[in-house]
Amino acid sequence: MVTLLAVTGPASLTAPAQAASLTEVTGFGSNPGNLRMFRYVPDGLPAGRPLVVAMHGCTQSAGGFDDETGWTTWADQWGFALLLPQQQSANNLNNCFNWFEAGDIRRDAGEALSIKQMTDRMKADVGSDPARVHATGLSAGAAMTNVVLAAYPDVFAAGAPVAGLPYACATSVVAAYSCMNPGTDLTPAAWAAKVRDAHPGYAGPWPAVSVWQGTTDTTVVPANLTETVEQWTAVHGTDTTPDATDTVNGYPHAVYRDSGGRAVVETYTITGTGHGQPVDPGTGAEQCGTAGAYILDADICAAYHIGRFWGLAEDGGGTGPGAPAQRAVIPGTAADDGYVKASADGAGAAVGALEATMGAAVGRGADGRHNRTLLSFDTSVVPDDATVTRAHVT
């Protein structure tokens, strides 16, 4: 059965709600890291939706990292709140998060605690789902992503460092430069011990991690992808041999699963790309962002694929322009209706009849990616002057 959740006609058109905007929040806690807090909340966002914490890179700001990276696009479309911490020059002259300072990367201390306090404030103000809090960032923001994942694995369900470094790679400025280039080579067990030591006694669950890296990045060299994968696969108790590989928009993609088959780590290797956040400007279904300094037009929207990995797109949840004017239920006859399916494993398209109930796979596969199924159905019950704007398969 296909249920039309939104059918609009000329008489039922409504004007879009006023667009949300980036706003600063003060008084969110003791703020030992002396950070600023900004948030973007789509208009009409209900309680119980996910929260994404997005952290800028050096020389950047919250206001230059929201629309430009595409995160506000998916916040509106998929329905989640966006928190953007911002560094201050009083803490770091280049506005880098201090991912290499021992006092800023420990649980309940410094910048790590400030970000956790911001997260608590978002839960209180917006009603964000505490089980669906995610963190991402670029460069120093990516390193700080690994910091909050390690220090607060009980708060963050997943993360995505883009051009980042493993947790606790450095605890001084000199060591930080060495971590960035040429990189620091430790065993997976040694890397994992650093994460476990960040929250002693915590036994899981651990955050799932999507790791992104440009192959021509000379600021944070590609070796850091390898070390980050070693760190998080070891934390999850799995090895560094990918369980699935494919290409996405022409770029190598690998998935690492735990013993239960859950995708716990994935990597995107952005060949021929330097230091920055990959975006794909345009209006296509998977496009986003605006190219600029350290925001690179790579023909792939990192925010889109990260959000899919986290499951942000699974239930829609967008806060579009007003409620649907009417609802119609279209019955389907399994023997008559068919499907075309694109499988998550990269196999060729399949076709079949809906009466073969195992055929039309919809949703997340064991590797953490999504199957996509197109269904045909009878639309004779839809009024002539109406437009089908959304459908839900039940």
Number of residues in the chain: 394
CATH number for the domain harbouring residue 84? 3.40.50.1820
**Structure token pair of residue 90:** 């009083």
Report which residue type is found at 33.
Answer: G
Range of the domain at 264: 17-310
Q: Are residues 210 and 357 in the same domain?
A: no
Compute the mean pLDDT over every residue in the chain, rounded to the nearest whole number. Answer: 85
| Residue 219 is assigned to a structural domain of this protein | yes
Mark whether 174 and 76 lie in a shared domain.
yes
Phi, psi of 51 (to 5 degrees): -130, 135
pLDDT digits (tens, 9 = 90+) for 167-195: 999 999 999 999 999 999 999 999 999 99
What DSSP state is assigned to residue 104? G
Supply the pLDDT for residue 123.
Answer: 98
What mean pLDDT do residues 320-340 have?
40
In a domain, 189, yes or no: yes
Report pLDDT for 376: 52
Residues 234 and 368 in one domain: no
Token pair for 236: 């999850």
Look at residue 71 and tell me if it is in a domain.
Answer: yes
Mark out the alpha helices in the chain (DSSP H runs). 71-74, 110-126, 140-151, 173-180, 188-198, 223-235, 302-310
Q: In a 3-state reduction of DSSP, which class is residue 343? A: coil
pLDDT for residue 383: 54
Return phi, psi of residue 344, to 5°. Answer: -70, -20
Which of 310, 342, 371 marks a domain boundary? 310
Beta bridge mates, 160: 136
Domain presence at residue 177: yes
Q: How many CB atoms lie within 10 A of CB 254?
A: 18
71 shares its domain with 99:
yes
Catalytic (active site) residue 139: yes
Position with higher pLDDT, 364 vs 93: 93
91 and 173 both lie in a single domain: yes
Q: Are strands 350-353 and 263-270 parallel, antiparallel or unpaired?
A: unpaired
> Residue 265: what pLDDT?
99
Say if CB 270 and CB 212 are below 8 A apart: yes
Sheet containing 326-330: give its strands across: 326-330, 2-8, 387-393
Say yes or no: 339 and 283 in one domain.
no
Among 278, 310, 342, give the residue marking a domain's end: 310
For the cut 70, the answer to whether the pLDDT of residue 353 exceeds it is no
The token duo for 182 is: 């040429």
**How far, in Å, are 71, 186, 264, 355 from residue 189 at the CA level?**
34, 8, 17, 49
Among the options 12, 139, 210, 380, which is catalytic? Answer: 139
pLDDT band for position 339 (cuts 50, 70, 90): very low
- How does pLDDT run across 104-137, given as a tens digit for each residue? 999 999 999 999 999 999 999 999 999 999 999 9
Confidence tier at 314 by pLDDT (50, 70, 90)? confident
Q: Judge if the upstream peptide bond of residue 205 is cis by omega within 30 degrees of 0.
A: yes
Q: Do 262 and 341 fall into the same domain?
A: no
Tokens of 15: 């004007």
Q: 184, 169 in Cβ contact below 8 A? A: yes
The answer to whether residues 174 and 32 belong to one domain is yes
Say if residue 369's pLDDT is above 70.
Answer: no
Residue 275 and residue 387 in one domain: no
The span from the CA of 227 to the CA of 241, in Å, is 13
Establish if 364 belongs to a structural domain.
Answer: yes
Under 8 Å between Cβ of 367 and 243: yes
DSSP state for residue 64 in the 8-state scheme: G
Q: Where are the alpha helices (DSSP H) in 236-354?
A: 302-310
Q: Does one domain contain both 27 and 110?
A: yes
pLDDT reported for residue 6? 33
Based on the structure, what is the number of domains in the chain?
A: 2
**Is residue 296 in some structural domain?**
yes
**pLDDT at 335 (0 to 100):** 44
Preceding amide of 182 cis, omega within 30: yes
Do residue 270 and residue 140 come from a single domain? yes
Report residue 327's pLDDT band, with 50, 70 and 90 as the boundaries. Answer: very low
